[in-house]
Amino acid sequence: MKLNLNIEPLESWIKKGSDPLLIAGPCSAETEEQLVATAHLLAKTGKVSALRAGIWKPRTRPGEFEGIVSIGLKWLKRAKDETGLPTAIEVANAKHVEEALEAGVDILWVGARSTVNPFTVQEIADALRGVDVPVMVKNPVNPDLSLWIGALERINNAGITKLAAIHRGFSSHEKSAFRNEPMWDLAISLKTHAPNLPIINDPSHITGNRDLIGYIAQKALDLDMQGLMIESHIDPTVAWTDAAQQVTPAALIEIIEHLALRKPEVRNSEMKDKLAELRAQIDKIDDLVIQKMSERMKIVEQIGTYKRENNVTILQVNRWDEILRRGINYGKALKLSPEFTEKLLELIHAESIRKQTEIMNKEAAPVEKLTHA
């Protein structure tokens, strides 16, 4: 399903300071000196396209630093006047939007905790009606693509065409090295729904850890995301919020300079041929996989019929454990990761169970066979 979003290209509202597009600045505006000094260092790099800063901070628990609020907008204005950097802040209600526009903030974004709530998003969208300002929509905290899409649609329906998405990762109960799981498939899915929607990656909030920012940023560029939003603070060790994930402007540039930029399409014709040949090989293998899946499902149907006639349960846990163990071992020997093999087998198994359930429920098992069971 393609989304019907009316979008202007990124280049129409933000000037690339470098490749990749970079939005940087502190998690929170803390003091006038901290914000202005950070802005100067970022501007001096020549690679930053916009200065970000949190003015109102959505905090999980009350009593934590909830942002410097309105006064920070004045500091932001000073930072912009002195450095020439356009500014970007998070807005979470209509009042934030009004104050931000009044203070001349150039770019607004909807935070992850707001995107989850359609009432909040609609309030922001209504406040934006008739205004020509770029808006970026972070993914919701929870891995729900529809909420993300819904928020983008609400903002777009309000007439905002300078629109982008920010991929900042998703909450997950699973323990991992990341603060928020990237769940790249969701960002890819958004891209397939809205191919002309720019997606900016936020490796700071994905990792929660400055040492992993480069790794995630590279992955985002490899997936053809259009830019990066990275938290940068003049002295991260004393940052009031998100200290572990912020980097100094110097460290930021070090990260950026180590990124490899890959072109979405290859220009050189020799490379094009090579790529076409490899893609053709992949297509052939995919065809084979699908053909084999079809053969497998036909056998599953026979098993379903047999189970029905003999009144046997669909799921036999021992059998499933055996399939998994065998498959994972075989996969390992062929250099496939156990996680991948397990996921693949689970997908195939779920479809097999679905097919068998269909067969079992097609017609009741014949009575005379039941007595034999």
Residues that bind Mn ion (CB under 5 A): 27, 242
**Least spacing, CB of residue 132 vs ligand PEP, in Å:** 23
From CA 322, how far away is CA 31, in angstroms rounded?
61
Does 138 engage in binding with ligand PEP (CB under 6 A)? yes
What's the gap between Cα 224 and its chain centre?
12
Question: How many residues contact ligand PEP, by CB under 6 A?
Answer: 10
Residue 112 contact, options ligand PEP, Mn ion, none, Cβ 5-8 Å cut-off depending on partner type: ligand PEP
Q: CA-to-CA distance for 279 and 262, rounded, in angstroms?
A: 18
CA–CA dist 298, 292 (Å, integer): 10
Shorter beta-carbon distance to ligand PEP: residue 166 or 359: 166
Residue 299 CB neighbours (<10 A): 10
For residues 252 and 232, the answer to whether their CB atoms sit within 8 Å is: yes
Give SS3 for 208.
Answer: coil
CA distances to 187, 266, 267, 281 from 263, rounded to whole Å, are 19, 6, 9, 22
What does 138 bind: ligand PEP, Mn ion, none (CB cut-off 5 to 8 Å by kind)? ligand PEP
**Among positions 67, 72, 86, 111, the unique one binding ligand PEP when judged by CB under 6 A:** 111
Which residue's entry shows tokens 């690339």?
A: 16
Residue 331 binds ligand PEP, judged by CB under 6 A = no
- The site map against ligand PEP for 9-48 (x = CB under 6 A) is ------------------x---------------------
| Whole-angstrom distance, CA of residue 51 vs CA of residue 86 | 6
Q: Which stretch binds ligand PEP (CB under 6 A): 108-116, 144-152, 319-327, 362-370?
A: 108-116
Q: Which of 205, 210, 233, 308 is close enough to bind ligand PEP by CB under 6 A?
A: 205
DSSP 110: E
Instruction: Name the site residues for ligand PEP (rule: CB under 6 A).
Output: 27, 54, 58, 90, 111-113, 138, 168, 205
